[in-house]
Amino acid sequence: MTTLSTDNQKSWKTTTQERPAALEIVLLKWTYVLPWSQFLYAEGGDDDIRLAFTTHDVLVKGGGLSSLLAS
């Protein structure tokens, strides 16, 4: 899996050339693993993006997020 740090002020980057098998979302008390095979689409702007999966919608809020949509 690819890990991105939300504490980092630098641009978002992934370190693998291959597409990861899943997206891991780590929260304070829960961890969700969503397979990329169920990914539908992503939309949003610089301050929030929405990732749509067949079973979940993920809303990410922050700054500099539009670079995640560029790939």
Residues in the chain, total: 71
Name 60's bridge partners: 49
For residue 71, give both structure tokens: 């790939």
- pTM over the 0.75 mark: no
The domain locations on the chain are 22-69
For residue 51, with 0-12 CB atoms within 10 Å meaning exposed, 13-18 middle and 19 or more buried, which class applies?
buried
List, for residues 15-69, the tens digit of each pLDDT value. Answer: 556 677 888 888 889 888 999 899 999 999 989 999 999 999 999 888 888 877 8
Q: What are phi and psi of 69, to 5 degrees?
A: -80, -15
d(CA 33, CA 29) in angstroms, rounded, equals 14
User: Does position 9 have pLDDT exceeding 50, yes or no?
Assistant: yes
